[in-house]
Structure 1
Amino acid sequence: MSDTETPDATGKAPSIRDVARLAGVSYQTVSRVINNSPQLRPETAAKVRSAIAELKFVPNQAARALATNRSRLIGVLGPRMTTHGTSAMVQAIESVARAAGYRLTLTNLATSAADDVRASIDHLMQQSVEGLIAVAPQTRVVPILDELKLPVPVQIVASTGTSSSHNDQTAGARAAVRHLIELGHSRILHIAGPRDWVEADHRMRGYLAEMDANDLTPRPPVLGDWTAQFGFEAGLELLRTEDATAVFAGNDHMALGLMHAVRAIGRSVPEDISVVGFDDVPESAHLWPPLTTVRQDFAGIGARAITDLLTRLGESSDAVGPSEPDHLRLIVRSSTAPPSR
């Protein structure tokens, strides 16, 4: 089996033995460098990496797996619907994993049905993954993962779970609602995310808890689907029937649709309705008016998840980088103001 994938000028791919010859070491030493073995002198490892770069040597992953009996493959279980946040987390996971010598295999849930969840997990396990990351899972994913007792480490990127990388979604939602209350709002609506999303549930709990803590009567939250279209349609209905002065939307896209609905019925933000979102997607600062929202560092969450998983796989902390929490932060912009009436 070929050890490389990149041919040289003669059309022949450089091999691991070519690297060893150029570096003046054994091919076993080159293999140890490729597999990030700590049992090497720094000057030897540097000499081998220089030879790898000069020859443009690319190790064949299949050959490495056969030689080491390790796939160096991380499985990622994605949500049924991809959002800006989940995309940013997966990109960060892939970047850190690649730097540590691992690859990703990704599958998205077809539905949130238990059989589909189990089938997706089985699909990843059949590829001999060494660890698994569940990104922003639906509510039923967590107990299924616990039930299966998988033989590999599992990292759950969510607001709950025994092994999780997360920001406190409930606290972030409370900060958003508290901001509205401090501005003088008491009639505050909440457009929530889908029923089966962990994050949506925790943000809704934050809304209810903060309203209760301030002796305010919450309106029944409306369950949405994270999209701007739902925010628009819900806004048209709610703003014609509810006497509210502010809305806390479960994410920025639903907040965007809601702001469109406010204008469509001849009202304005924030003069008539204050709006707060959640996530601080890149477009939020460029809406009109710019959106007040709760910022979370999706890339940081993803990097923290893969870092923790690689540590559990025995990788050194130098190889995988730091794992410090990134707290949620309220970003106040022009979509919120004291109520005018």
Structure 2
Amino acid sequence: MAGLSEIARAAGVSVSTVSRVLNRRAGVNQDTRRRVLTVLAEMPYTSRGIGALRRTGVIGLLVPELSNPVFPAFAEALETRAASAGYASMLCNTRSLSPQGLGEEEYVRMLLTRGVEGMIFVSPDITNQGGAAEGEIGRVRGHYRRLVDDGVQLVFVNGGAASLNVPDVRVDEQLAGYTATRHLLELGHRSIGFVSGPAYSLPSRLKHAGWAAAMEEAGHVSRPELVAHAPYGATGGASALRELLARTEVTGVICSSDHMALGVVAEARRQGLSVPADLSVVGFDDSTLAAHCGPPLTTLAQPIGEMAAAAVTELVERLEPESDSTADTFSRVFRPRLVVRESTAPPAR
């Protein structure tokens, strides 16, 4: 049984053209369609279980975790939008802390055997390679390349790589870092720290670039001692603030996520600091906890509903047999929105 790439080579066309013929989509001329169908008759086709020859009405949703409220929010928005388009969803938590938990690649194999028609990845592994060795990064990239070459329809949310030619929908992380820093600068802060996620995480690198640009634009040096890296989560936020305070003085901090910001607020209290009187804190995501913590958190909101709608619409258009959607990369960037609450104020001195 041949795969899409073998069929494409034999017919002298692209993988995407074979996929369009299999799914009876427009945009393929009759001579090309006839040539592909001739090869298909000679080389029976299997797509590793994704159901290109049969419609299942099911898509896979892969999120990195469920402990951070932003990911359940994305999952709910994606599932709701998919259901309104007539698709059921299978949700996978790809970085489960359970010893029995499956990783992203294992879940992908499971989804393929279940006959999903396509997949949406939120913060895919390719975006968060941490300190992985070059060979490991190449292996993960190859994992997506095989899916693309086999004609599996994918969409990335807040992640991706241009070389893969996979559609992506993302929030402007660099603008988020810039906007958060500008907010504190306009309040009168000058010594502003950045509580970052892991150093090699793309979202953190982009926010760092925005923070540095805002600081330098205002005439302040973005000193390395103002940046502390830690794992995402409240515990990471707390340890990053301890690191910052041990080596420099800050009156405000921006954080890579609301989850980290909650850890910062808790650690500030343990150190005898009041938020925002002694330390202003800005998060990112506007998760469900942000408005209800003490004090309510100033943050940069991701437009989760709009991003989910764009991701599902793009995937569904590529799955529908009558679609005129091409295989060209679709990329849409959304602006974050500053939500000012009570965790930021002018510095006391």
TM-score by shorter chain over 0.5? yes
Matched, 1:307 2:313: yes
Q: In structure 2, what is the Cα distance between the partners aligned to 1:289 and 1:116? A: 36
Return the letter of the residue paired with 2:108: I
Q: In the alignment, is the contact (CA less than 8 A) between 1:74 and 1:105 conserved in 2?
A: yes
Matched, 1:200 2:204: yes
Partner of 1:108: 93
2:290 aligned counterpart, secondary structure: helix
Tell me which of 97, 110, 115 is aligned to 1:128: 115
1:166 aligned counterpart, secondary structure: strand
Partner of 1:280: 286
Q: In structure 1, what is the Cα distance between the partners aligned to 2:93 and 2:217? A: 38
Q: In structure 2, what is the Cα distance between the partners aligned to 1:101 and 1:137? A: 25
Q: Which ranges in structure 2 are unaligned for 5 or more consecutive residues?
A: 1-49, 130-136, 324-331
Matched, 1:152 2:124: no
Q: In the alignment, is the contact (CA less than 8 A) between 1:89 and 1:300 conserved in 2?
A: no
Partner of 1:229: 235
Return the letter of the residue paired with 2:169: S
Per-residue deviation, 1:296: 1.4
Q: In the alignment, is the contact (CA less than 8 A) between 2:65 and 2:71 conserved in 1?
A: no
CA displacement, residues 39-60 of structure 1 (integer Å, 9 cap, x when unaligned): xxxxxxxxxxxxxxxxxxxxxx
In structure 2, relative to structure 1, the CA distance for the partners of 1:314 and 1:283 (3 Å cut) is same
Q: In structure 1, what is the Cα distance between the partners aligned to 2:261 and 2:65? A: 21
Q: In the alignment, is the contact (CA less than 8 A) between 1:136 and 1:199 conserved in 2?
A: no
Q: In structure 2, what is the Cα distance between the partners aligned to 1:316 and 1:228? A: 47
Partner of 2:55: 70
Q: In the alignment, is the contact (CA less than 8 A) between 1:97 and 1:104 conserved in 2?
A: yes
In structure 2, relative to structure 1, the CA distance for the partners of 1:143 and 1:214 (3 Å cut) is farther
1:1-341 to structure 2, matched below 5 A, reads: 69-79=54-64, 82-110=67-95, 116-138=103-125, 139=127, 140=129, 143-144=141-142, 146-148=144-146, 149=148, 150-162=150-162, 163-195=167-199, 197-220=201-224, 221-314=227-320, 327-341=335-349
TM-score (norm 1): 0.69
In structure 2, relative to structure 1, the CA distance for the partners of 1:144 and 1:77 (3 Å cut) is farther
Tell me: higher relative CO, structure 1 or 2? Use CA pairs within 8 A at least 6 residues apart: 2
Per-residue deviation, 1:332: 1.4
In structure 2, relative to structure 1, the CA distance for the partners of 1:123 and 1:103 (3 Å cut) is same
Q: In structure 1, what is the Cα distance between the partners aligned to 2:276 and 2:67? A: 30
Return the letter of the residue paired with 2:238: F
Per-residue deviation, 1:260: 1.8
Count how many residue pairs are aligned between Structure 1 and Structure 2: 269
Computing the radius of gyration from Cα coordinates, the structure with the larger value is 1
1:335 aligned counterpart, secondary structure: coil
1:74 aligned counterpart, secondary structure: strand
Return the letter of the residue paired with 2:114: Q
In structure 2, relative to structure 1, the CA distance for the partners of 1:144 and 1:187 (3 Å cut) is farther
Per-residue deviation, 1:145: 5.3
1:118 aligned counterpart, secondary structure: helix
Q: In structure 1, what is the Cα distance between the partners aligned to 2:333 and 2:229? A: 29
Q: In the alignment, is the contact (CA less than 8 A) between 1:159 and 1:167 conserved in 2?
A: no
Q: In structure 2, what is the Cα distance between the partners aligned to 1:111 and 1:260? A: 25
Q: Percent identity?
A: 35
Q: In the alignment, is the contact (CA less than 8 A) between 2:238 and 2:264 conserved in 1?
A: yes
Q: In the alignment, is the contact (CA less than 8 A) between 2:232 and 2:260 conserved in 1?
A: yes
Q: Which ranges in structure 1 are unaligned for 5 or more consecutive residues?
A: 1-64, 318-323
Q: In structure 2, what is the Cα distance between the partners aligned to 1:195 and 1:327? A: 23
TM-score (norm 2): 0.68
Return the letter of the residue paired with 1:99: S
